[in-house]
């Protein structure tokens, strides 16, 4: 004979203080677990949104990032001669030769952090159509002027329009702030490619080349032509979107490993809390359990009802934890990206997979914490339970 599920709900209402404490513990652990996954997903999403599938980025083989890559002027000419490169209305190839460096900027709290400065060619607005100047104007390619990603102006001192940033022995005026589809480019400072190469005495060498193809479907043919040219054996092309997605792997992986390790430690405490709560429920209901057994309820039914109480507690805590974590979606933070050695701004990102994973994780704690107390209740001797009166 089965015990009605409402019996478990009624018992939780009666013991709402102890049940509430357990719910709070589980919700805290699930909040941390979901926050860690949201942080890692936020890094993946931000860098994954950087660039376009129609754009190809070329770097030197073996370089982990653009900073450690170098492409000489002669090689740039060879790459420009490859097929499938799109031209604009003026028959100019939509290609950006980009020197990339890292400088230090002060934060409002007095600390320092690295920021990426990227030189871009004059076709950059056609190359990256998601580029949008939100304040001020585009830099003058003939002057020492910069445009700054919107998150940079919010997180670094002196990066607002009208201010001057000093590096490479010169002062560079900030003339605009930009957005770029929410990707990693928004954590950078951009200036004219030629101006930056002159300032850093780089001659004609750049860190990378970004090329717009006639269509995303031309990538395979472009890559084959690239591989066929023996002068380009030291270099490799990749789609812009795929390249920056790879750049997120190290940081996102580190966040997941560290965060889940901390969460597992917290989860042990929450599991023990659930176990204590359910053991207390069993101890306080010894006569009740004996009565149910004498009325014909099976051991399996009693096991199920006590386990259901534990699952209900943990599920409630899990839902609360996920709801609390979802609030983080409105916040943006920044951290140092191991691959680029510079700071990247990103938002916590919630996904259906994270919601399901968090709920399963929370309910799992409830099952682990409630199984032994439920088993004890199911195995209780009828006579001994009734004698407890």
For 169-188, the pLDDT digits (tens) are 899 999 999 998 888 899 89
Query: Are residues 44 and 162 located together in one domain of the fold?
Result: no
Q: Does residue 54 form part of some domain? A: no
pLDDT at 308 over 60: yes
Per-residue model confidence (pLDDT) at position 158: 86
Of 186, 208, 233, which marks where a domain is finished?
233
Residue 119's pLDDT band (boundaries 50, 70, 90)? very high
pLDDT at 107 over 80: yes
Domain that holds residue 90: 62-233
Number of structural domains (the chain) is 2
Query: Are residues 284 and 150 located together in one domain of the fold?
Result: no
Per-residue model confidence (pLDDT) at position 26: 84
Query: Are residues 158 and 113 located together in one domain of the fold?
Result: yes
Query: Are residues 272 and 229 located together in one domain of the fold?
Result: no
Q: Does residue 241 form part of some domain? A: no
C-alpha of 161 from chain center: 29
Query: Are residues 292 and 201 located together in one domain of the fold?
Result: no
pLDDT at 349 over 60: yes
Query: Are residues 276 and 332 located together in one domain of the fold?
Result: yes
Per-residue model confidence (pLDDT) at position 265: 79
Q: Does residue 80 form part of some domain? A: yes
Mean pLDDT over 269-291 rounds to: 65
Q: Does residue 287 form part of some domain? A: yes
Query: Are residues 160 and 96 located together in one domain of the fold?
Result: yes
pLDDT digits 0-9 by tens, 246-275: 877 777 777 778 777 877 777 777 777 767
Q: Does residue 240 form part of some domain? A: no
C-alpha of 44 from chain center: 5
Per-residue model confidence (pLDDT) at position 134: 95
Distance between CA 348 and CA 365 in Å, rounded? Answer: 24
Average pLDDT, the chain: 83
pLDDT digits 0-9 by tens, 313-342: 888 889 999 999 999 988 887 777 766 667
Between 293 and 245, the more confident residue is 245
Mean pLDDT over 99-112 rounds to: 86
Query: Are residues 211 and 336 located together in one domain of the fold?
Result: no
Per-residue model confidence (pLDDT) at position 87: 94
Distance between CA 307 and CA 8 in Å, rounded? Answer: 9
Q: Does residue 117 form part of some domain? A: yes
Residue 384's pLDDT band (boundaries 50, 70, 90)? low
- The partner residues of 106 in beta bridges, in order of sequence, read 112
Mean pLDDT over 205-213 rounds to: 95
Mean pLDDT over 146-163 rounds to: 90
Query: Are residues 78 and 223 located together in one domain of the fold?
Result: yes
Per-residue model confidence (pLDDT) at position 297: 62
Of 180, 199, 233, which marks where a domain is finished?
233
Query: Are residues 198 and 148 located together in one domain of the fold?
Result: yes
Q: What is the CA radius of gyration of the chain?
A: 30
Query: Are residues 382 and 266 located together in one domain of the fold?
Result: yes
Of 200, 233, 266, which marks where a domain is finished?
233
Distance between CA 182 and CA 128 in Å, rounded? Answer: 13
Tell whether the torsion through CA atoms of 71, 76, 81 and 86 is positive or negative: positive
Of the chain, the percentage scoring pLDDT greater than 70 comes to: 82
Residue 120's pLDDT band (boundaries 50, 70, 90)? very high
Q: Does residue 199 form part of some domain? A: yes
Pairing of strands 164-167, 145-149: unpaired
Residue 283's pLDDT band (boundaries 50, 70, 90)? low
Distance between CA 93 and CA 86 in Å, rounded? Answer: 6
Q: Does residue 56 form part of some domain? A: no
Query: Are residues 75 and 33 located together in one domain of the fold?
Result: no
Between 222 and 62, the more confident residue is 222
Mean pLDDT over 8-29 rounds to: 72
Per-residue model confidence (pLDDT) at position 95: 95
Per-residue model confidence (pLDDT) at position 82: 95
């Amino acid at each position: 004979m089965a015990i009605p599920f409402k019996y478990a709900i009624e018992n939780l209402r009666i013991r709402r203080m102890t049940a509430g404490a357990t719910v709070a513990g589980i919700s805290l652990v699930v909040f941390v677990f979901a926050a860690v996954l949201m942080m890692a997903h936020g890094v993946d999403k931000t860098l994954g949104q950087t660039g376009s599938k129609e754009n190809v980025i070329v770097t030197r083989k073996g370089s982990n990032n653009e900073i450690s890559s170098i492409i000489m002027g002669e090689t740039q000419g060879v790459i420009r001669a490859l097929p499938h490169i799109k031209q604009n209305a003026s028959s100019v190839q939509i290609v950006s030769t980009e020197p990339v460096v890292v400088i230090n900027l002060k934060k409002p709290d007095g600390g320092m952090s690295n920021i990426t400065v990227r030189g871009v060619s004059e076709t950059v607005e056609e190359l990256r159509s998601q580029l949008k100047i939100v304040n001020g104007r585009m830099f003058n390619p003939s002057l020492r002027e910069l445009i700054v990603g919107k998150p940079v102006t919010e997180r670094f001192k002196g990066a607002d329009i009208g201010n001057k940033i000093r590096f490479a022995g010169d002062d560079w005026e900030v003339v605009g702030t930009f957005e770029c589809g929410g990707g990693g480019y928004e954590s950078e400072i951009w200036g004219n490619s030629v101006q930056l190469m002159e300032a850093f005495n780089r001659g004609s060498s750049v860190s990378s080349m970004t090329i717009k193809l006639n269509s995303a479907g031309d990538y395979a043919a472009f890559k084959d032509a690239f591989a066929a040219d023996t002068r380009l054996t030291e270099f490799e092309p990749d789609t812009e979107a795929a390249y920056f997605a790879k750049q997120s792997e190290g940081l996102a992986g580190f966040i997941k490993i560290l965060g889940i390790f901390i969460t597992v430690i917290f989860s042990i405490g929450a599991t023990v809390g659930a176990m204590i709560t359910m053991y207390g429920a069993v101890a306080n209901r010894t006569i009740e359990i004996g009565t149910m057994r004498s009325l014909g309820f099976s051991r399996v039914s009693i096991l199920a009802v006590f386990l259901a109480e534990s699952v209900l507690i943990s599920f409630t805590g899990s839902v609360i934890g996920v709801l609390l974590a979802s609030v983080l979606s409105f916040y943006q933070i920044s951290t140092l990206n191991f691959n680029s050695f510079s700071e990247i701004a990103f938002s916590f990102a919630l996904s259906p997979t994270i919601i399901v994973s968090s709920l399963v994780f929370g309910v799992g704690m409830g099952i682990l914490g409630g199984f032994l107390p439920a088993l004890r209740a199911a195995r209780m001797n009828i006579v001994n339970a009734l004698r407890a009166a």
